[in-house]
């Protein structure tokens, strides 16, 4: 359904992004930015983008590893997991603002379709949360199991747009006590917890939970319908 394009960040860096769906009014409900896990803009992320495009959004999924390595497309083996963690660590170690200008460029590109929502998974969930607090031009944000967002400096950031978050209660990367602390620290954020593991939305992983994924997606679409279009 979609195809790759090149985007340019404010600092002049160019990077690829997968785009899908109708770009112009009145065809599109609005724009959505989809932020990858630690596995790149792989077949799963492209299918997620295609899914939101089928729901009527113009979707942009930027390659957020591109500043440290081009063309990353990993699977879900132990080796892939290790490679992905290494790349995530490298991106997180970049001088500020790191990869955030690339996400801003994706938001700006998605805005040709109207209001923009942002949704991300795993590391992309953390970046979605940061985007809701640091970037401009989006109208709503939905992080899925964003590792790191419930602890430290990230947990006390202040979002400037409505945020809905999805967590799993069996997620060993995001302990439930930190989720509870996050809920207390962020009373304006809608937090949903599912009987599920980390990565429950990804149908290519062993942690996939169909019931949780379906309910979270229904809630996400309703949230975007309310705030984006």
Q: Which of 109, 166, 198, 227 is an active site residue?
A: 198
Q: Which residues lie below 8 Å from residue 19, measured CB to CB, with a gap of 6+?
A: 2, 3, 4, 5, 49, 58, 59, 60, 61, 109
Pairwise CA distance, residues 156 & 159, whole Å: 9
Contact status, residue 50 vs residue 34, Cβ threshold 8 Å: no
Quick one: 77 exposed, middle or buried, by C-beta within 10 A (0-12, 13-18, 19+)? exposed
Is residue 50 flagged as an active site residue? no
Copy the structure tokens of residue 5. 């394009």
Place of tokens 């394009």: 5
Q: Which of 50, 102, 108, 171 is an active site residue?
A: 171
Is residue 166 flagged as an active site residue? no
Catalytic residue numbers?
171, 198
């Amino acid at each position: 359904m979609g195809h790759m394009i090149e985007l340019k960040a404010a600092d002049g860096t160019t990077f690829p992004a997968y785009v899908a769906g109708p770009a112009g009014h009145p065809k599109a409900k609005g724009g959505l930015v989809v932020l990858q896990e630690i596995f790149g803009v792989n077949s799963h992320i492209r299918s997620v983008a295609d899914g939101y495009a089928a729901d009527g959004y113009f979707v942009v999924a930027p390659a957020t590893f591109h500043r440290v390595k081009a063309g990353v497309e990993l699977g879900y083996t132990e080796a892939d997991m290790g490679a992905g963690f290494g790349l995530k660590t490298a991106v997180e170690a970049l001088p500020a603002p790191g990869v955030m200008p690339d996400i801003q460029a994706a938001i700006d590109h998605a805005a040709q379709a109207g209001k923009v929502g942002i949704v991300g998974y795993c590391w992309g969930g953390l970046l979605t949360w940061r985007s809701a607090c640091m970037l401009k031009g989006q109208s709503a944000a939905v992080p899925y199991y964003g590792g790191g967002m419930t602890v430290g400096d990230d947990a006390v950031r202040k979002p400037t747009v409505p945020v809905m978050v999805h967590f799993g209660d069996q997620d060993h990367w995001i302990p439930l006590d930190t989720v509870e602390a996050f809920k207390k620290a962020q009373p304006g954020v809608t937090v949903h917890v599912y009987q599920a593991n980390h990565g429950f939305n990804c149908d290519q992983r062993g942690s996939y939970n169909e019931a949780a994924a379906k309910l979270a997606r229904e809630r996400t679409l309703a949230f975007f319908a309310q705030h984006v279009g």
